[in-house]
Structure 1
Amino acid sequence: MDKENDKDIVVNEINILNSEVSDNLINEDFDLEIYKQHVLSQEYGLCIECNQQNTFEDWCKDCCSKKFQQNFGNWTSENAYIDKFIQESQLNASDSFELLEWIPYNKLRNIQFLAQGGFSTIFKAIRLDGWINKWDYEKHDWDRIIEELGEQDYEDSINPKTKNPLKINEKYGLPVVLKSLNDSSNINDNFLNEWKLHLQCQYRAALYGSVLAPLMGITQDPDTFNYMIVMMKMESSLRSNLLISKYNPNDKFNNLLLISAQLEAIHKLNLVHGDLHNGNILCNGFNSVNISDLGLCRPVNQPHINNNIYGVLPYMAPEVLRGKPYTKAADIYSFGMIMWEMTSGIPVFHNVPHDLNLSLNICRGIRPEIIEGMMPEYVELMKRCWDNDPEKRPTAEELEQFFFEWDRKYPTEENKEKRISIPENEPEITYHPKTYYKSRKIDYSAKINEILQSETLADCIITEEEAAAQEFSDYEEN
């Protein structure tokens, strides 16, 4: 395999799963359900070894699981829960997107701090051995996706803040992201819940022709003893691409189709994402978006963690802010905010403090101002998503159908020469100093309910006074 094109290959595979529909299927009568049946019935040829149907391109689930099983005795995380989790993923993987590996820390290079999340610390790194793609029958070993490293990688290696610096004789690797799980040195089965749910949703999403942000495996920091999830490094988050969508407006139809398909996969498992916002949606180019970070994912109507409410305030539904259980409709509310952002080009409520007052206004029904020129049908759907009444919001399946049709009607411009670049004179987004776009605990539900209830009571008193005054006025006139 051409080393320089390996990363392009895996990104292309994600894009194919995400959005490609063969031309001969598209006609005036074509609909989403037909496409789903096409995906479900897709055949990938016969396995060279067992002559049974492959479960994905160059992937036989039965044969690959046996190869993984034969190697179980050659590695260990030294944690029984993690070993079992990784082994189960390898035995059950229908393609390379659904498996994990134990990745020794010494196989990682150029480890550098990238960001501080709400519940974890994020690093970037290079994985020397690459990512499993398929079984190489000639070499009798795994074919791995890997690429030739560049000058910047060697420059990063001399940074004094870089851990495990790249050596001069190490020429190949794959960019990855490490998500360090706080206080995870004594990890147990419950602690792995996020990643179990991620793999479940990954499998379900594949049935809808899409994928969540791919996981690669687990490693452990020998200094902190914290375990770290190793993920494919995506180019950016949706937050960084909002202006691109603003100037290439057809992008939003394809992007929102992919997000709604992935959200539908989560909801079909009777789960909620629980923390959907533009920072938790990752991008590889303009036509590949993937939901990530299922740290707050849980079964529908399950109580909040320790009765605490977590999230990014501008995307939180009013009923959640008031302390009610998180439902699928709350995810849809967040989706509506993302719809607005992909037209405006700016993060929602970026110019006001993310505080009690904003929470109250959200519960009172305050929403972002409709952008001039928005497609009326789009505005109508967006307003349904952020309706104060959860029962009036559409389902993820309905959203997927809308965006499937719009994506066909308004196709993404894929010719790079015809795409519109962000103008150099585009004003820089000015954030209010008290905005906060990371997940955090929101602990004023009781105060919100107290204030809103007092407002309701005051309205009732005023209404009664007005009614009495009207009755007196009518009496005088008679």
Structure 2
Amino acid sequence: MLAMMKFDIDLRTYLQQNHKQLTWKKRINIAYEIIRALYFIHYVKAIHRDLHSGNILYSQFNDRWCISDLGFCGPADKSSTSIYGNLPYIAPEVIVGREYTFASDIYSIAILMWEISSGQTLFINYEHENDIVMNIINGIRPKIVPGTPLEYKNLMKECWDADPLKRPDAYTLGERMKRFNLDYQNMTDESFKSEIVDNLEMNKAEENYTSSRLFTSKIHNFENLPEPRNATEVNDFNKSNKRDSKSSKVITIFRDSNKKLSKLFKKLQIKSKNDEKEITQQHVDGR
């Protein structure tokens, strides 16, 4: 007889509805349970290949987070000729055409960890896949939210490294997260009361969720992309979003003022020539 577990909500919806009330104690526990679930997938030598917040499910009855949507999951030695997944969560090496590996899943975990910490969906203001792709392979990662515990921050950064060989495996990540989680679970709820107030203030200006077509799992085709790298300077998605949103305004401003600039340059040139003539005349007159 097959027993089916009832799940109540996916992670994306859960964060939309509850992130204001989530303390770091709760957020860290959610991340740990997801990492633990991935460890068991990797333990049987399988790769999920499509981890995202829409297929992380919560059972209220069991108070447990699980990974679902195993249809694309398969043996580590199973090759794939196509790139399939939810674009913001796909590892940079996969985007440029390399095989899915255990490390590719770990990259997706890093993005999930950031989503849990921030309550936001990545690339919220992006409309074109190419912009997202170039950010990912150029090493631009999301801005880490204020108040993120140092160990959580360090783990997240290790997991989204552009070099898959520098990412921890699921076992190592799970063990480090387990110790970190235990430290937080041993703290009293009183320790986190001020966090709730901070979350309410922080999220007032950040409630911005989307059901964009860009955030669904599908087959992707990309060609002639550069090698993935880590960003060499401080970059984040917020800056990229601002650049994208302002670019059209900047173009319009320059276009509208182009004629004015041309007239100004002409006046400056005329004035410069007149000044030159006056100086020359002064030398001739001996003044």
TM score, norm. by length of structure 1: 0.42
Give the corresponding residue for 2:75.
299
The structural deviation recorded for 1:353 is 2.7
The structural deviation recorded for 1:386 is 0.3
In 1, Cα distance between equivalents of 2:101 and 2:213: 25
**In the TM superposition, what whole-angstrom CA distance separates every residue of 1:356-380 from its partner, at most 9, and x where no partner exists?**
2211210111111121221122111
In 2, Cα distance between equivalents of 1:401 and 1:291: 19
The answer to whether structure 1 residue 357 and structure 2 residue 101 are counterparts is no
The structural deviation recorded for 1:269 is 1.0
| Residue number among 240, 262, 266 corresponding to 2:13 in the alignment | 240
**Is the CA contact (8 Å cut-off) linking 1:255 and 1:287 kept in structure 2?**
no
Give the corresponding residue for 1:387.
161
The answer to whether structure 1 residue 442 and structure 2 residue 216 are counterparts is no
| Residue number among 43, 54, 57 corresponding to 1:282 in the alignment | 57
Task: Supply the AA of the counterpart residue of 1:395.
Answer: D
Give the corresponding residue for 1:332.
106
In 2, Cα distance between equivalents of 1:252 and 1:403: 12
In 1, Cα distance between equivalents of 2:131 and 2:188: 42
Q: 1:282 to 1:271 in 2, by over 3 A?
A: same
| Residue number among 200, 208, 213 corresponding to 1:430 in the alignment | 208
Give the corresponding residue for 2:232.
none
Give runs of aligned pairs for residues 367-378 of structure 1, distance below 5 A.
367-378=141-152
**In the TM superposition, what whole-angstrom CA distance separates every residue of 1:63-100 from its partner, at most 9, and x where no partner exists?**
xxxxxxxxxxxxxxxxxxxxxxxxxxxxxxxxxxxx52
Q: 1:353 to 1:261 in 2, by over 3 A?
A: same
Q: 1:320 to 1:362 in 2, by over 3 A?
A: same
The structural deviation recorded for 1:381 is 0.9
**Is the CA contact (8 Å cut-off) linking 1:351 and 1:430 kept in structure 2?**
no
**Partner secondary structure for residue 250 of structure 1:** helix
Task: Supply the AA of the counterpart residue of 1:335.
Answer: I
**In the TM superposition, what whole-angstrom CA distance separates every residue of 1:318-351 from its partner, at most 9, and x where no partner exists?**
0010111000000000000011111111112222
In 2, Cα distance between equivalents of 1:371 and 1:435: 26
Give the corresponding residue for 1:63.
none
| Residue number among 116, 129, 138 corresponding to 1:342 in the alignment | 116
**Is the CA contact (8 Å cut-off) linking 2:92 and 2:136 kept in structure 1?**
yes
Q: 1:237 to 1:338 in 2, by over 3 A?
A: same
In 2, Cα distance between equivalents of 1:338 and 1:290: 13
**Partner secondary structure for residue 258 of structure 1:** helix
In 1, Cα distance between equivalents of 2:52 and 2:140: 18
| Residue number among 392, 407, 415 corresponding to 2:181 in the alignment | 407
**Is the CA contact (8 Å cut-off) linking 1:353 and 1:435 kept in structure 2?**
no
**In the TM superposition, what whole-angstrom CA distance separates every residue of 1:138-183 from its partner, at most 9, and x where no partner exists?**
xxxxxxxxxxxxxxxxxxxxxxxxxxxxxxxxxxxxxxxxxxxxxx
The answer to whether structure 1 residue 256 and structure 2 residue 31 are counterparts is yes
**For this pair of structures, how many residues does the alignment match?**
218
In 2, Cα distance between equivalents of 1:259 and 1:406: 14
The structural deviation recorded for 1:245 is 4.6
Unaligned runs of 5+ in 1: 1-98, 101-130, 132-215, 217-231, 454-478
**In the TM superposition, what whole-angstrom CA distance separates every residue of 1:380-430 from its partner, at most 9, and x where no partner exists?**
110100000000001111111122112211118898xx9859859845733
Give runs of aligned pairs for residues 222-233 of structure 1, distance below 5 A.
232-233=5-6
In 1, Cα distance between equivalents of 2:58 and 2:31: 12
**Is the CA contact (8 Å cut-off) linking 2:120 and 2:208 kept in structure 1?**
no
**Is the CA contact (8 Å cut-off) linking 1:250 and 1:411 kept in structure 2?**
yes
Give the corresponding residue for 1:106.
none
Higher helix share: 2
Unaligned runs of 5+ in 2: 228-287
**Is the CA contact (8 Å cut-off) linking 1:274 and 1:297 kept in structure 2?**
yes
Task: Supply the AA of the counterpart residue of 1:283.
Answer: Y
The structural deviation recorded for 1:233 is 3.4
**Partner secondary structure for residue 143 of structure 2:** coil
Give the corresponding residue for 1:311.
85
Q: 1:432 to 1:240 in 2, by over 3 A?
A: closer
| Identical counterparts, % of pairs | 39
Higher strand share: 1
**Is the CA contact (8 Å cut-off) linking 1:237 and 1:283 kept in structure 2?**
yes
**In the TM superposition, what whole-angstrom CA distance separates every residue of 1:95-127 from its partner, at most 9, and x where no partner exists?**
xxxx52xxxxxxxxxxxxxxxxxxxxxxxxxxx
Task: Supply the AA of the counterpart residue of 1:377.
Answer: E
In 2, Cα distance between equivalents of 1:296 and 1:414: 41
**Is the CA contact (8 Å cut-off) linking 1:313 and 1:354 kept in structure 2?**
no
**Is the CA contact (8 Å cut-off) linking 1:236 and 1:282 kept in structure 2?**
yes
| Residue number among 27, 37, 40 corresponding to 1:265 in the alignment | 40
In 1, Cα distance between equivalents of 2:217 and 2:71: 10
Give runs of aligned pairs for residues 125-274 of structure 1, distance below 5 A.
216=4, 232-242=5-15, 244-245=18-19, 247-274=22-49
C-alpha RMSD over aligned residues = 2.8
The structural deviation recorded for 1:301 is 4.1
Task: Supply the AA of the counterpart residue of 2:111.
Answer: M
